[in-house]
Amino acid sequence: MKTLFTITLIVELIFALGFIAVPGTMFGTFGVTPNEFATSLARSFGSALLGFVVLLWYGRSSDNQELHRAILVSMFTYWLVSSVLMVLAQLAGLFNVMGWGTVALHIGFLIAYGVFIFKKE
């Protein structure tokens, strides 16, 4: 679980900093040109991802099983909802082919977190 939290932390940190510092570049990767409103929302989204980074940082170094479970369920919920939304956006043609990479990333993390949540002890 510590490895999963660490990998997620690194990936989310990259996206968080990207959406906060250079949202236009992040959107451009997906073939989208944001307006000022989308840019402000992207920065807000980046700050939420940064919150995940902090949570994962504390969780990876903790032995508290209740904390681990709370992080697993929270992150699973995020990956589930975001995976559905990303698939719908991709199928609607909102992103270029790079969007499929993000879909794969989200579904990969969804599966990884699901394994930890639903595995039998």
> Tell me: the pLDDT tens digits for 41-79?
999 999 999 999 999 999 999 999 999 999 999 999 999
Nearest-10 Cα torsion for 88, 45, 52, 16: 100
Q: Please, where are the H alpha helices in the chain?
A: 2-21, 23-29, 36-60, 65-91, 98-118
Neighbouring C-alpha atoms within 13 Å toward the C-beta of 61: 6
- Listed residue (87, 92, 115) closest to 102, CA to CA: 87
Question: Is residue 69 within 8 Å of 53, Cβ to Cβ?
Answer: no
Tens digits of residue pLDDT in 1-51: 899 999 999 999 999 999 999 999 999 999 999 999 999 999 999 999 999
Q: Tokens for 97, please give them.
A: 């082919």
DSSP secondary structure letter of residue 64: -
Distance of CA 90 to the CA centre of its chain: 16
- pTM for the structure as a whole: 0.89
Rg for the chain, CA atoms, rounded: 15
Q: What is the pLDDT of residue 119?
A: 83
Average pLDDT of 93-99?
Answer: 92
Higher pLDDT, 79 or 118: 79
pLDDT of residue 121: 61
